[in-house]
Every structure is written in C-alpha cells, then in structure tokens.
Amino acid sequence: VVVTSVTRDDLADGGASQFAKTIEVLHEQRNGMMVEVLIPDFNGSTEALKAVVESQPHVLNHNIETVPSLYAEVRPGADYNRSLDLLFEVRGMDPAIVTKSGFMLGLGENRDEVIAVMSDLREANCDMLTIGQYLRPSEKHRPVVSFVTPEEFSEYERIGMEMGFAEVASAPLVRSSFRAAELYSKVKR
C-alpha cells in the first residue's frame, strides 16, 4: 500500500498525524502488507517527521523532484537541501526504515546535474530511487523541454546502482510508486 497526499501546509503538523494514524491502522490489519508513505517536507519540522517515522512505515519516500537549478521555477517554496535533510534524518531516527526518493527528467536539467542529484541522495542515505520522464499535465504547467531516451534512462539506472542505491527504477513511465512492493522486496532480501 502506498499512502500519499497533497502538501498540507495549512495543517499545524503538515498532515503528519494523519499519515501516522493511517500507517498504524494498516499495521493493525496484520496481513503482511508492505506500507510505503510518500510525504511532503513538513516545512522542515523534525517533530512532524518523527511522528511518521514512529508509525513504522516500511518505506519512507520523499521526492526530490528535480535538480537544484530548477527548484525556483519548478518547486517554488520548496527547498532542495531541506528535502535532503529530511531523508538523512530518517536514518538517524530509525535505521530500519528504507528511504526512497525520485525525480523527473525533461524539465531542462543536464546530465551532470542529474548525476549530482543522485550523488546528493546517496550522501543523504537514500536507499531507493525512481527516475521518470516529466509529462506536462496541462497547458498551465511548465512545458516539456526534452524527452529523454530509454538508453539514457538505462544509463542513469546503471550509474545509480554503481553509486550504491539498493534499487533504481529508471524509465520514461516510472513514477514514485512504480512497482513499490517489488522494489522493496529486492531491498529487504
């Protein structure tokens, strides 16, 4: 099961308590299901993150989304380093939780920037990575700058595995929850 929501900066804890309650209810089912949670950055709140971590998801996913040079345009209000810090903090709170992140290509980034993001994620102790092609959801959204070839996606997957990610899913139609249970089972072998 993958649990996610839109960013809820309107809530005092950013929705952390709702994530935690949902994870706890899923664990009560005791049917062996794997629980992955895709969370916002909670505006850097360690307490909010701690509430989610203490509910014991199997995988904690927080998407980095894009390269730092595009953050102001693509993720206004978000902070690249805050996202990295969140992933790093999880490991300190509970080393057993698998961490995951992902980003989209085709927004105007270059190869060196992509590899630098991958390196930053490894330094933040990120275990799993998803990389997919950005597809413009509507005319109101940023246009696609480039379409990345399947060969380039394969190269990023190879590079990621060489960097030490436990699993990398990299292809045009990969999204953050792509084969979530399968990737987790490979990591936990």
pTM for the model stands at 0.94
Contact present, 32 and 66 (Cβ < 8 Å): no
Mean pLDDT of 64-78: 94
**What is the domain partition of the chain in residue ranges?**
2-187
Question: How confident is the model over 110-129, as pLDDT tens digits?
Answer: 999 999 999 999 999 999 99
Evaluate if residue 66 carries a pLDDT over 80: yes
Return the percentage of the chain with pLDDT > 70, whole number.
Answer: 99
More confident residue, 32 or 162: 162
Query: What number is the average pLDDT over the span 75-85?
Result: 94
* Torsion angle (degrees, nearest 10) of CA 97, 92, 117, 159: -60
Q: Is 126 exposed, middle or buried (CB count within 10 Å of its CB: 0-12, 13-18, 19+)?
A: buried
User: How is domain 2-187 classified at the CATH fold level?
Assistant: TIM Barrel (3.20.20)
Question: What is the end-to-end Cα distance of the chain in Å, rounded?
Answer: 19
How does residue 7 score in pLDDT terms, banded at 50, 70 and 90?
Answer: confident
Return the higher-pLDDT residue of 6 and 95: 95
Query: What is the mean pLDDT of the segment spanning 169-187?
Result: 91
Which of 46, 70, 56, 45 is CA-nearest to residue 19?
A: 56
